[in-house]
Amino acid sequence: TNKTFTMLKPDTLEKGYVGPIIEKITAAGFKIIAMKMVRLSRADARDFYAIHKEKPFFDELVEFMVRGPIVVAILEKENAVEDFRALIGATNPAEAAEGTIRKLFADSISENAIHGSDSDENAVIEGSYHFAGREVF
């Protein structure tokens, strides 16, 4: 499809990088069709990252994601999922390409500033988890 879902993670809000990151996203041609600030519960975070529940970093990941508010959004662009993953860069900012959001704004693999859906199917699941129909434009 032409949509993806993103979260600006707690480190981004703590460091005041919401504005600069949204600027990068829109400058790259993504249109924001839904956006709000929320705080995940532990149940939300465990559910969102359930695929990683056996990983050694799972508890650390959940505690990070509930540390403070996040910004969630649905973005629209041709080839949205793949192009957005390219824009945010590798999971580990140390390995992320120059100019990518994680290279510019993230500190570490555990606090890496931003999420982007990894498939069209997950983009729909993640977007509908956070937004009612009347919140998507």
Minimum Å gap between C-beta 134 and ligand GTP is 27
- Specify whether the CB–CB gap between 113 and 97 falls below 8 A: no
Is the Cβ of residue 60 or residue 107 nearer to ligand GTP in the bound state?
60
Q: Which of 24, 46, 115, 130 is catalytic?
A: 115
Q: Tell whether the torsion through CA atoms of 89, 63, 37 and 11 is positive or negative.
A: negative
Is the Cβ of residue 76 or residue 118 nearer to ligand GTP in the bound state?
118
| Residue 57, marked binder | yes
Minimum Å gap between C-beta 94 and ligand GTP is 12
Give the DSSP letter of residue 90: -
Minimum Å gap between C-beta 78 and ligand GTP is 20
| Residue 85, marked binder | yes
| Residue 24, marked binder | no
The footprint of ligand GTP (CB under 6 A) covers 52, 57, 60-61, 91, 109-110, 112, 115-116, 118
Is the Cβ of residue 13 or residue 109 nearer to ligand GTP in the bound state?
109
| Residue 77, marked binder | no
Q: Residue 83: CB partners within 8 Å, gap ≥ 6?
A: 28, 29, 30, 77
Active site residue 115: yes
Rounded distance between C-alpha atoms, residue 10 and residue 93, angstroms: 16
Q: Residue 14: CB partners within 8 Å, gap ≥ 6?
A: 67, 68
Strands ordered across the beta sheet of 31-38: 31-38, 70-76, 3-8, 114-116
Catalytic residues: 115
